[in-house]
Structure 1
């Protein structure tokens, strides 16, 4: 600090003499001195120029204990240790290479676990990574100039006399300059060490002023006779940055201008719409949508494919020819009916007007006049198992050809539709895979006929379709079919969704409801007929319940959810579709299988039943005993009430009466 003080005093004296060069150098040195004065006050306290500063006094409380300085200056060591209760001292692991358990090595950091690790972005300039970056041109140490900046100050003879200690005479300017250059070449390391030891605090402005001072002092050096003092101004060093964390780029984002846009739309029109959604309606819409998509695909086809469609139009012409042939066949059918009507004209007259006058003399007995004889040649060896008139066409009836000879069962059956207008040949005939045991015509749609087969399957036929299409619906022969003969089948009320349904009863003791869904029949077991017999022992210690074999079914004319079931053990059960866990009522009607149950057309509480015990019984709902009982002397296979009288019924027996 002493040389600087002397220099400042000399500069002040020169400033009083109004030397311009001296004033510039003085201003520069004063700025350097102000820069150094910004250091800590502890460093300035040692300076003699600040002796006027008020000294600090340490205030101690009165009760503080006096401790010797030796104890205060004594250094007390403090050791910090960590204990990890989760760390296992002797932890072992199985080594598959050695085939034994080996002790795990302790972690490199001992028992201490790092809780936080932060990777710095600065690197040491003497490290290998810094050297590699400098060699590659990244993160180079930059300087404002090629070398350290210097400020040269001249000393006159008057200043040397004022110094406290005499100094040797300065050498000539040329020799001084030469010596300075030699010293700079010999001691480059000291300059670097000074740069590392002191922080970089100078700015570009100060460096520029120092350069100006050096340039102004150069002419005087040439004149000679003055001593030069070199002040090294440290260069600015560029900080090395980790290239993986920093990227020297600059960008200026574009601020989007704000705009306010307002729109007003017309509200969409509203309408109230109501409709009933059924599965059949949904199915129709799907069919229409599918047809529309097919038309769109045809329109999108290229022209080369449309030529093929023209060729396909010829096949459409063939279809038209087939339709024309069908109309011709219908015309031949009408012609055939005209011929048969002329042949059987006498029988047609008897059918309408015949009356036997001998009935007046035979009281209690009548006569039966045979009219037409219907037969189908392929079914000569089959038995007629069921016959039913069509509810819409009064001249049309359906016949089920099957077999009741269980020892020599036929492999096929047939469903035929006969008309009294053409007794020679059936109007509709289709061969089935199994003998047909029962049938029923749908009253709402008279061309739909459901049949029950000998193998336990049920089918639905559409008389409007061609014979090549066979059945329209059929039960699944593995999952839903009956395991025994289907003895009777009856159309029931429509479901809630509008699908048609029918019921079947079989010898397996199940009453099944079949719903006609699009493309399939869906089966639901309504009730399983149980007997009062105790369970029988089965294989592997199991107990088997005994089911009753159903033989016939009949629905109540008014109450659609009530139906009667006849069994092979002579029981008549009253069941309900709403409560299928048990019977509503049960009656021991006969001693042998019940073959048919039929309600009276005029009184819905009266019904008739026939059985293999030769009896026909008239029952009333709610009574356990029959109102009337008729014994016919032979097993009675069927009984029906007359549609024109409430007291007339007809029955047929096994002996042909």
Structure 2
């Protein structure tokens, strides 16, 4: 089958006119012949992909249509041809185009004979004037060109394996941090290369002058030195171990006293004891700050955290600091974190030793995760998510079930007692009480209880065996006991003090006994649901802090603003302390906080001017009960309960 295509002449340029003149003189272009055949000579190994079955199939010889459809098109698009008629076309061109017109007329007659009775002449003329539909394609109608493969070189698909791993939030965070560090390293390397290129462009540098032997060159920055010369695996751990060994050799006498010191004078003074000063902890920038709070780690016996602030609560704002210290290296803190404002309170999580919650003087509550040695994970509260408006006085963690979000409570001077839930990388709050919104709080209370809600909460404490029971101290001097799980927040009022309550804490052995201290110079021991105190003690000065002993139900330690430490044992003597000792003998240093180590008989006392000291109790201050020798844990617990029950019975008789 032959198909003859008449040559179409172009008249848009001077070259086209020359071609037309050549045609007029008798020079004709050769006819274009395209032979369409159904004979398809193919190899037996040719295959084509079948989208229906999803596999490659052998091309059959009786399929000539495939070869015809895959031929590249060589037909000239009619849109590229000049118009048939133009009003400005020269007259001579009409005479030269006669042969082309005859060919077009023959083609139209053949089409009319072929589609006679099916399509009208006007419709055929309209179709003929349109662009070639067989060479027209749109982007949406295009398909991928089938690539043919040889059956002999087709191979099996490569083997695959299933890989799975559990990825947590901290893994993703550390991956991003490592990638960020790599990007920084690449940028630094590019900067070095650019600097070297600039130096090469500048040419040879002038010879350096010899330095005077007395004048030393400026030291290299610490970060660059560490990055370039100390990038060795295991070096930080080895350096830390060496540093601790050196410090233990320097403070060997103090380490021996911490382990083996016993005051021989206690044998001649049965009802008196003493405190032995051990280490003094300080930082270069802590001299101008006040130690606002200290807290021992409940997991690591030698680790504790200290919070620093620039001034008293409500005073001028300033920078703050959070330091992690260890008894193995008292010369310098392990970690130091500077804050734009003072830190007033902090506490370790009771189960997760790397988590610390802190309250700032601007009303922000922050959680620190110290598991990363490079940079800790810090999650602060934000203004749009319940941030306190005034300084946060105290923060306290609560126990949660496995799988639940970690939770802690905070109390601030804006009158709110708020519960915070640590979820992923954000803190979500729930206000438990708000002393400023009296109408909302008293709506669910009885008429005789509405007059109790006055002042602002200053401290909180949760009952050890039932954390739904919350004890709050108020700046008016009263104590409130409420239930955090109840919608009505039923309150029980204790008429405790005449001045703001600074600290309230539950007994670690007898779960119904707690004590409170205040600026009115007094410490009071209370029995739950009793409006009259069991014991009232006057220390002669404003009490800054108080804490129960972890090894005895009757021993507690209190510090005053005058810098004196008072140690009481209510089982041996209620009226007077067993020990009263000043922190510094030569000058007066005001004490601000105290904390008992849960593993060793030592206490930490913090004060102004960055003063932070560890003290060890003498044998009389930690003397066990006569029946405690050889007793197991259950028997020791019963002995401690009996000691406190005896105190309760004696107080009730009085």
TM-score by length of 1: 0.49
Structure showing greater radius of gyration is 1
TM-score by length of 2: 0.49
Higher strand content, 1 or 2:
2
Higher relative contact order by CA 8 Å / sep ≥ 6: 1 or 2?
A: 2
